[in-house]
Structure 1
Amino acid sequence: MSKNLQSLALGADNGPERVDVAYRDQVMEEFRSGVTKVLISTDVLSRGIDVPAVTLVVNYELPMSYSSYGQPDYETYMHRIGRTGRFGLKGVAVNLVSDRDRHHLDSIQSFYKCTMMKLSGDCEEMEALLKGLR
């Protein structure tokens, strides 16, 4: 791998899009060490991966339950956003949702008895949130 990489993508580790274990380990080492600043992944990394320096997780889409049609997968959601804020550190989780899917966020807030704030979409607002973490 080139040491000039700023981002990498990593997919599932089973099925037809299986990722080579050695490649996955190399990608994770570069992300942990800070060589790679951005890691784009499927849910394959939502569990069991500890990278203390993660300050931001972006959910491009919310995880949905296959057993409860039309409901968010609450456990997977928690594991995804749990990649940030590890080891007592703080982090930010951003959910990209349309107005049509807003009710799923309401369901997640109700399930976890938490509140989420709506961001304006201004990059400076996100930058200020992240700077205030460390």
Structure 2
Amino acid sequence: MNKNNIEQLSALAFNAQKNSHSPYSNFKVGAAVITPTGEAFAGCNVESAAFPLGQCAEATAIGNMVSQGHKRISHIVIASPNEEFCFPCGGCRQKIAEFATDDTPVTMVSKQGQTHNTTIGELLPNAFRAHDLEK
């Protein structure tokens, strides 16, 4: 996992976190992805009064990436609003896996800057992917 990527993506994720719309949980999360071409995209969580209609930061970052024509994640960083690591929810793990390989790095960063590194394959073993639809 490239230290420069982690630093760049952490800065983008924490910056996006500032724009979080989380009036119900007050749990502000930011995320940032980088593509194989080196372009980075960030997002924050967006809550709704109709709770199930909210969107996680990872989903926002991925949506921003896709809307700009990119389809691969090389690394994703998730910025926590506190001293604990904020792991992606199950739905976001599937969204990340859609655009990543099993060895794609996933880094969680605490508010204090501590990191926990893993991969999407470790977070979501045996992920359901497009090739599974071909069988």
What is the TM-score of this pair, normalised by structure 2?
A: 0.30
What is the TM-score of this pair, normalised by structure 1?
A: 0.30
Structure number having the greater strand percentage: 2
